Amino acid sequence: MKSYNIWQVLTFLTLCLLTLVTTSCRTSRHANRPPFVLVIDAGHGGRDMGASGRKSHEKDLTIQTARRFSKLIRKNCKNVEVIMTRTDDEYVSLDDRAGMANFFNADLFMSIHANSARGWAEGTETFIHPSARGSRSERLARLIQIQYTYEAGRKNRGVKTANFAVLRKTRMPSILTEIGFISNKEEENYLKSKKGQKELARCLYNAFQQYYTEISH
């Protein structure tokens, strides 16, 4: 079995305690069910900066949005335990990200990234593994894209498939979402802003809440 760093174990235990004082997602009728385990993966970190814009790095934008998203879940979802693959600017390998989700028997894995292109590009897109067509992963991905479009006014580039390691190696419904193009000056400014981060975190939360409600019936 893969070993885990002490910070990973401590983070999990801390988040379990925090979950006890949060409030319910919409209703308390799921209170007697085992906790739903959500892994939020902020892409890149540490020596892995990800894509770079004019004034920012992907690793910083992803952790900022992930923190806001996790805060919404902890505040509003009583029966959901949140595990973050990283909480600071530190390097975590792709194997460890997927391994953490598998080790804790997560119910859902959501990876947050920022996109980049050599030419001009804009908008959001969410990826699932090619084998996940028609699955819960695809349903969540479509809910996320709807939220980006109608709640945040972002261009919808659609749901796509890719053989990304964190999608291939996780054993639960998994998505990887690109929240915008850091290579686009306007989108980079939006991704850096509190307004943009709050809107995107709210989009992810709204999509998760609808997904959670659907699968809980």
Match 């992963």 to its residue by tokens: 137
Q: Fill in the DSSP letter of residue 33.
A: S
Amino acid identity, position 142: R
Sequence-separated (6 or more) residues with CB below 8 Å from residue 34: none
Question: Is 178 tagged catalytic?
Answer: yes
Annotated catalytic residue within 81, 125, 178, 187: 178
| SS3 letters across 92-115 | CCHHHHHHHHHHCCCCEEEEEEEE
Sequence-separated (6 or more) residues with CB below 8 Å from residue 86: 41, 42, 45, 63, 92
3-class secondary-structure state, position 174: strand
Q: What is the distance between the alpha carbons of residues 188 and 182, in angstroms, rounded to a whole number?
A: 5
3-class secondary-structure state, position 206: helix
Catalytic residue list: 178
